[in-house]
Structure 1
Amino acid sequence: MKTQAFVPLVTHPEANSDAFGAHATAAAAILGAGIHALAVNASIPKVSNALSRMLLDTPELIRQAETASRERGNQLLAILKEKAAATGVDFTGEAVSAPLPLMTEVAADRARYYDLSLVGWEAGNSTAQATAEAVVFGSGRPTILLPELVDISSFNHIAIAWDGTRVAARAVADAQSLLKHADRVSVLTVIDEKPLKEKAPEERLASALRQRGVDAEAVTITGQDCPIAQTLQQTAIERGCQLLVMGGYGHSRLRDFVLGGATQGVLSSLLMPVLLSH
């Protein structure tokens, strides 16, 4: 059975960049996966009152916004289809319209039907960030975040952010197929960010991975008052890692997710491809 990757495309109010098409197909090729892309276009409620027509011509503004959203969705689908054909990646795509408050929820719901999601991330793009958060916490599937300014060439050296928790273990399990094909794995544990349940958990995981034939090395990190997400990503980058695997920490409070520090940091400032699993 072939792996299928879900690729949500955000179109409004801030759309994915053209670069995402190349990044998503490159990642899919590395994973040996086909792509199913979904352009989520905006459906904006019509406003019908005399004042809105006289002062702003609101119905026309709504029509223009919806048209721009559909056109951008079609452009992104066309770019993905072209890049997929060039890299030999199987591709299917479709477009749906959704009300503004439900666009990210539609993406998360559709992601449940696939093995994993590939989500584009651009600095300052709050729509892409909200979509990533919704897919990570709402799909029940692992999500690989792909930053706009980082080219994807391979996942031969993978870093794991490890603290021995259930969420971290879930992330490692979701990344098994990647780990077993990697040339090297670095297990990263930050020792001064929060109390750990056991001493040297990174050594225990590295040893367990080596028993399975993975070339794994334990790496102990001190945060030195640096944000945890930046510490993990910078350490991974300095070691030559191309992917960081980590658990997505968060809990619901009145239906809003309160994110853990590392998760929030990654979603806010993504420096490299990151596999998040919740």
Structure 2
Amino acid sequence: MSYKTILVHVDESIRAGERIKLAAAVAMTEKAHLIGTAMTGASRYLVQARMLTELDPNLRTHLDFLRQRARRGLEDFDVTARKLGLDSFEKRLVDDEAGAGICLQARYADLVVIGQNDPNEISPVVMPDFAQYVVLNCARPVLLVPHTGRFDNIGNQVLIAWDASMEAARAVTSALPLLQRAQQVDVVIFNARASGSPGMPPGTEIVHYLRRHEIRAELLQRRADGPVGEAVCALASDTGADLIIMGGYGHARFRELVLGEVTRTLLASATIPVLMSH
């Protein structure tokens, strides 16, 4: 298994360059095709119905402005991809709201790379709940890049937050290409309870599963007296992890997002990249 198509969200944010470089690094390692997609932020329904261009000249001017902003982000993507020597890449400008547009594009990718919300940088295009929305709705694994720090590469030291859930299982399976290249993989279970086959300690079966994929993993059992999300972040720091893999929990009701505690904490506070699958 390997990633053949990687989609990265492109915009004019300060951290877009770091996100693009990380996506490009994964694409180069996997020999994958990289797609840089910039969204204008204009609803595709209104654009397709020509409501933004025919009813009001001012709206037409505003749409042109949004497209110019998106093109500038794509120009930076193009420069970075060429500088790094990527063999296969393309850029796309899409008239759509950022979250919905990325989720549609993600259907034709193996991995989606997006940025963590930066509360100090307000975007006219990207909603504050963008990352949460994409994780819950894109139907693909999502690699979240923090809004601080440098990440030239990932996956040497990996921490898997395991709870035997469907979401966690999907995340681990989605991350196999990265895990197979890792030097060290730790599987942590917080506040372990009996799960899996009778008579087997919690976490044993996922370690055996990984070994069948030629991935050697060490099982860690920890107790979290406080929020588990904070415990995951602390352990990642203690072990020197450069990537966290976990399930993404929650559901969407219209635009309202209801997230699990660990998912909410990692989306907002992670200081290293996190691969999530819902």
TM-score for the superposition, normalised by structure 1: 0.80
Question: How far is the alpha carbon of 1:209 from its aligned partner?
Answer: 2.1
Output the amino acid matched with 2:165.
T
Matches within 5 A, 1:123-162: 123-124=118-119, 127=126, 129-152=128-151, 153-162=153-162
Partners of 2:234 and 2:29 in 1: CA distance = 23
Number of residue equivalences: 261
Match of 1:119 in 2: 114
Q: Is this contact kept in 2: 1:129–1:268, CA < 8 A?
A: no
Is residue 99 of structure 2 the alignment partner of residue 104 of structure 1? yes
Q: Is this contact kept in 2: 1:18–1:76, CA < 8 A?
A: no
Q: Is this contact kept in 2: 1:111–1:139, CA < 8 A?
A: yes
Question: How far is the alpha carbon of 1:205 from its aligned partner?
Answer: 2.0
Partners of 1:64 and 1:254 in 2: CA distance = 30
Match of 2:90 in 1: 92
Q: Cα gap change, 1:25/1:212 in structure 2, threshold over 3 Å: closer, same or farther?
A: closer
Residue deviations 1:185-223 (CA, integer Å, cap 9, x gap): 10011117xx66467423432243234421210112222
Q: Cα gap change, 1:19/1:182 in structure 2, threshold over 3 Å: closer, same or farther?
A: closer
Output the amino acid matched with 1:266.
L
Q: Cα gap change, 1:123/1:230 in structure 2, threshold over 3 Å: closer, same or farther?
A: farther
Match of 2:47 in 1: none
Match of 1:49 in 2: none
TM-score for the superposition, normalised by structure 2: 0.80
Matches within 5 A, 1:207-246: 207-225=208-226, 227-246=227-246
Residue deviations 1:34-57 (CA, integer Å, cap 9, x gap): 2111110033776xxxxxxxxxxx
Question: How far is the alpha carbon of 1:85 from its aligned partner?
Answer: 1.6
Residue deviations 1:72-110 (CA, integer Å, cap 9, x gap): 322221122122122222210110222xxx431121011
Question: How far is the alpha carbon of 1:27 from its aligned partner?
Answer: 3.3
Identity %: 28
Output the amino acid matched with 1:169.
A
Q: Which runs of 5+ in 2 are unaligned?
A: 44-50
Q: Cα gap change, 1:93/1:240 in structure 2, threshold over 3 Å: closer, same or farther?
A: same
Match of 2:191 in 1: 191
Stretch of structure 1 that moved more, 119-128 or 265-274: 119-128
SS in 1 for 2:164: coil
Q: Is this contact kept in 2: 1:31–1:178, CA < 8 A?
A: no
SS in 1 for 2:40: strand
Q: Is this contact kept in 1: 2:184–2:216, CA < 8 A?
A: yes
Question: How far is the alpha carbon of 1:15 from its aligned partner?
Answer: 7.7
Partners of 2:201 and 2:11 in 1: CA distance = 41
